[in-house]
């Protein structure tokens, strides 16, 4: 008899790629894999989740954090469907990830057998690559290719379907070698041209984002910015690429960006974009630069050739990883003619944007987040999903240095809980704070059970305003007073946490937050702080009533072409 089953070969090849965790929900469709994982449970633990959306988010977050693909295992049709949100996030966020999906046996394919889906078609346009492994002897080839593809160019998710009979077939085949991302280095002439453009710049700005950053590349960016006196801005939810406490930090371009930074981008004469693909949110809805020919001289450095010139035709298109470009560029020949205080002025604008204000009600998130910023250690990891509650941490918390941000560029809700589970598994010694809205938390809050199961002392915070506040904000602006589908009746989240076995506390005033947080940190087990905020504190700047008034006034203005 041949030596190994398809399931065993698959697991051996994950080990060959040095996978450290597999996230998933089991299914009878891939029992042979689960059995092979049982044999190596110490080396490659299967982290059992409560929903495939949670598992896929965890795998995506693992990819974002480590640069190696996060691995998820899900069962046929229903499991694969539940996992979609994580796959879409990995695609939008350019995170390396591989999702293995159970598939009906090849003897039944194309009959719409029980839970059958053709994943190549289902995920054809969502994933970077979707394929099916029909022969066990080709598993090493598929797995190595999936790893390489997920990490290279613009990283992204790969979906591989596993027919049941393929997983039990026994064959003799050698494992694939360890693979790494394809390097992408700039041509010397392009680097010289970039140096010349920067040398002539009077209002330069560096904008960083995307994936494929390493610690070395972050350090190189800091040194480059210092030597050339360049201001550095971060793209939407890629704030941890540059230390916000650094005097050259200019702020982030995301939802509700600092108008002074927006003006700085518009007025820039040379824009050096490193790793960011210039997506809709970073560019304020494609309004910051002219499409397709920006007025600014644009040096666009991205490891994925397809991203260069996708929307904006750059003056210089350089297909390289940020690290390779920063290594190649000569800071001493890039000394620019711009005033040396350009970066300092940009940083002043950033500090002014963070200056404390207040919001109505007994809980003031301005104060709480500023306290967290001053209190959390330098290597803390902060996670969040989508919602107005996140704007406080994006604006006030100082990421970068060794502080990490796990947040969906895709704007997908429900990310904050599962990504925190992945973060704490990868970095058990670091403080992991999961920051959630009431709406966001209940999308994937069931993974609190996973945090309990693996004894992960994460601090979960739920900012409860009793609504899908972001949508309510848009509603009041466009349809004032018509509250449709945005009010929420919530559980007592602290009590819910206690039912899971976690520590659960309610925070009803600003003063209660700090001591409750200290108790949560000291608990040694998962903990949840249920923070009750005033419904009027809908945004960082405007109350619910003010938004409604503005909406009504706007309705009474003569409409164009009306």
Among 7, 210, 469, 551, binds ligand TPP (CB under 6 A): 469
> What phi and psi values does residue 279 have, to the nearest 5 degrees?
-75, 175
Contact region with ligand TPP (CB under 6 A), list: 135-143, 242-250, 284-292, 408-416: 408-416
Binding mask 414-433 toward ligand TPP (x if CB under 6 A, else -) reads: x-------------------
How far is residue 149's CA from residue 151's CA, in Å, rounded to a whole number?
A: 5
Q: CA distances (Å), 44 to each of 23, 158, 174, in order?
A: 10, 20, 20
- When asked if residue 437 is in the footprint of ligand TPP (CB under 6 A), the reply is yes
Told to check if 361 binds Mg ion by CB under 5 A, we report no
Candidates 445, 457, 469, 526; binder of Mg ion (CB under 5 A) is 469
Spell out where 1-147 has E strands.
4-5, 22-24, 46-48, 70-74, 97-103, 129-132
By CB under 5 A, residue 92 contacts Mg ion: no
Give start and end residues of each alpha helix (H) in 94-133: 119-122
Question: Which range binds ligand TPP by CB under 6 A, 93-101, 237-245, 467-475, 506-514?
Answer: 467-475
The answer to whether residue 254 forms part of the interface with ligand TPP (CB under 6 A) is: no
Is the CB of 184 or the CB of 372 nearer to ligand TPP? Answer: 372
Q: Who contacts 56 (Cβ-Cβ below 8 Å, separation ≥6)?
A: 23, 72, 74, 82, 83, 84, 85, 86, 87, 89, 90, 97, 99
Identified binder of Mg ion from the candidate list 252, 364, 373, 438, rule CB under 5 A: 438
**Based on CB atoms, which residue is closest to ligand TPP, 207 or 467?**
467
The listed partner (Mg ion, ligand TPP, none) that binds 275, CB under 5 to 8 Å by sort, is: none
Q: Does 465 bind ligand TPP (CB under 6 A)?
A: yes
Q: Is 205 helix (H, G, I), strand (E, B) or coil?
A: strand
According to the binding rule CB under 6 A, does residue 439 interact with ligand TPP?
A: yes
Pick 115 or 470: Cβ nearer Mg ion: 470
Strand partners of residue 99: 72, 159
Residue 452 binds to ligand TPP (criterion: CB under 6 A):
no
Of 410, 183, 191, 208, nearest in space to 303 by CA: 183
Burial label for 532, CB within 10 Å (0-12, 13-18, 19+), is buried
What residues between 211 and 240 interact with Mg ion by CB under 5 A? none
Q: From the list Mg ion, ligand TPP, none, pick the one residue 470 interacts with, judged by a Cβ distance below 5 to 8 Å according to partner type.
A: ligand TPP
Tell me how far, at minimum, the Cβ of 399 lies from Mg ion, in Å: 23
Site for ligand TPP in 357-396 (CB under 6 A): 386-389
According to the binding rule CB under 6 A, does residue 438 interact with ligand TPP? yes
Spatial CA neighbour of 8 closest among 136, 195, 157 = 136
* Rounded CA separation 464/94 (Å): 30
Q: Is 445 in the site for Mg ion (CB under 5 A)?
A: no
**By CB under 6 A, how many residues form the interface with ligand TPP?**
18
Q: Is 82 in the site for ligand TPP (CB under 6 A)?
A: no
Sole residue written with tokens 């295992």: 73
Counting contacts by CB under 6 A, is residue 467 touching ligand TPP?
A: yes
Q: How far is CA 178 from CA 16, 44, 46, 68, in A?
A: 6, 16, 21, 11
Number of residues that bind Mg ion (CB under 5 A): 5
Q: Which position among 254, 385, 437, 526 is part of the footprint of Mg ion (CB under 5 A)?
A: 437
DSSP conformational letter for 279 = -
Closest CB to ligand TPP among residues 296, 419: 419
The pairs formed by 480-483 with CB atoms below 8 angstroms and a separation of 24 or more are 480/547, 480/548, 480/549, 480/551, 480/552, 480/555, 481/548, 481/551, 481/552
**How far is residue 485 from each of residues 144, 488, 533, measured CA to CA in Å?**
46, 8, 20
Question: Among the candidate windows 165-173, 212-220, 363-371, 435-443, which touches ligand TPP by CB under 6 A?
Answer: 435-443
Residue nearest to ligand TPP (CB): 437
What would you measure as the largest C-alpha separation in the chain, in angstroms? 81
Q: In this chain, which of 471, 508, 540, 546 binds ligand TPP, going by CB under 6 A?
A: 471
Of these, 62, 100, 468, 513, which contacts ligand TPP (CB under 6 A)?
468
For 178, the 3-state DSSP assignment is coil
Give start and end residues of each alpha helix (H) in 102-230. Answer: 119-122, 139-151, 164-168, 188-199, 215-228
- For residues 75 and 164, the answer to whether their CB atoms sit within 8 Å is no
Binding residue for ligand TPP (CB under 6 A) from 115, 132, 470, 475? 470
Question: Contact residues for ligand TPP (CB under 6 A)?
Answer: 386-389, 411-414, 437-440, 465, 467-471
Question: Contact residues for Mg ion (CB under 5 A)?
Answer: 437-439, 465, 469
């Amino acid at each position: 008899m041949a030596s190994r089953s398809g399931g065993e070969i698959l697991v051996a090849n994950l080990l060959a790629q040095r996978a450290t965790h597999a996230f998933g929900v089991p299914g009878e469709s891939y029992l042979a894999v689960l059995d092979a994982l049982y044999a190596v449970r110490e080396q490659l633990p299967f982290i059992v989740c409560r929903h495939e959306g949670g598992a896929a988010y965890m795998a995506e977050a693992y990819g974002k954090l480590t640069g190696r693909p996060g691995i998820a295992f899900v069962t046929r049709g229903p499991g694969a469907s539940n996992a979609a949100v994580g796959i879409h996030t990995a695609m939008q966020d350019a995170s390396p990830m591989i999702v293995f999906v159970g598939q009906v046996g090849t003897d039944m394919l194309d009959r719409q057998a029980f839970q059958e889906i053709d994943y190549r078609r289902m995920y054809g346009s969502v994933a970077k690559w979707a394929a099916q492994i029909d022969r066990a002897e080709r598993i090493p080839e598929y797995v190595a290719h999936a790893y390489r593809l997920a990490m290279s160019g613009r990283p992204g998710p790969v979906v591989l379907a596993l027919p049941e009979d393929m997983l039990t077939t026994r064959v003799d085949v050698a494992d694939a070698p360890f693979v790494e991302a394809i390097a992408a280095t700039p041509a010397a002439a392009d680097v010289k041209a970039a140096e010349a453009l920067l040398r002539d710049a009077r209002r330069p700005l560096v904008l960083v984002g995307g994936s494929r950053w390493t610690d070395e590349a972050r350090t190189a960016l800091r040194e480059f910015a210092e030597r050339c006196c360049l201001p550095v801005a971060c793209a939407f939810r890629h704030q941890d690429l540059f230390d916000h406490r650094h005097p050259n930090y200019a702020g982030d371009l995301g939802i509700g960006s600092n108008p002074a930074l927006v003006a700085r981008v518009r007025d820039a004469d040379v824009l050096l974009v490193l790793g960011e693909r210039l997506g809709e949110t970073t560019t304020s809805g494609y309004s910051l630069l002219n499409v397709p020919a920006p007025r600014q001289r644009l040096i666009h450095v991205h490891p994925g050739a397809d991203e260069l010139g996708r929307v904006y035709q750059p003056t210089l298109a350089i297909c390289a990883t940020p690290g390779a470009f920063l290594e190649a560029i000569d800071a001493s020949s890039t000394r620019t003619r711009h005033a040396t205080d350009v970066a300092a002025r940009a940083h002043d604008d950033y500090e002014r944007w963070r200056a404390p204000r207040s919001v109505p009600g007994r809980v003031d998130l301005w104060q709480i987040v500023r306290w967290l910023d001053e209190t959390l250690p330098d290597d803390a990891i902060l996670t969040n999903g989508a919602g107005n509650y996140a704007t406080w941490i994006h604006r006030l918390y100082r990421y970068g240095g060794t502080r990490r941000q796990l947040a969906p560029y895709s704007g997908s809700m429900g990310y904050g809980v599962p990504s925190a589970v992945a973060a704490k598994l990868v970095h058990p010694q670091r403080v992991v704070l999961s920051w959630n809205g009431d709406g966001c938390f209940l999308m994937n809050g069931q993974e609190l059970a996973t945090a309990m199961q693996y004894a992960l002392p994460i601090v979960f915070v739920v900012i409860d305003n009793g609504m899908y506040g972001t949508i309510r904000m848009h509603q009041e602006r466009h349809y004032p007073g018509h509250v449709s589908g945005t009010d929420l009746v919530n559980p007592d989240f602290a009590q819910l946490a206690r039912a899971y076995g976690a520590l659960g506390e309610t925070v009803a005033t600003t003063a209660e937050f700090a001591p409750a947080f200290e108790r949560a940190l000291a608990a040694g087990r998962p903990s949840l702080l249920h923070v009750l905020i005033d419904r009027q504190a809908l945004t960082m700047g405007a109350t619910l009533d003010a938004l409604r008034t503005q909406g009504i006034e706007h309705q009474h203005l003569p409409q164009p072409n009306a």
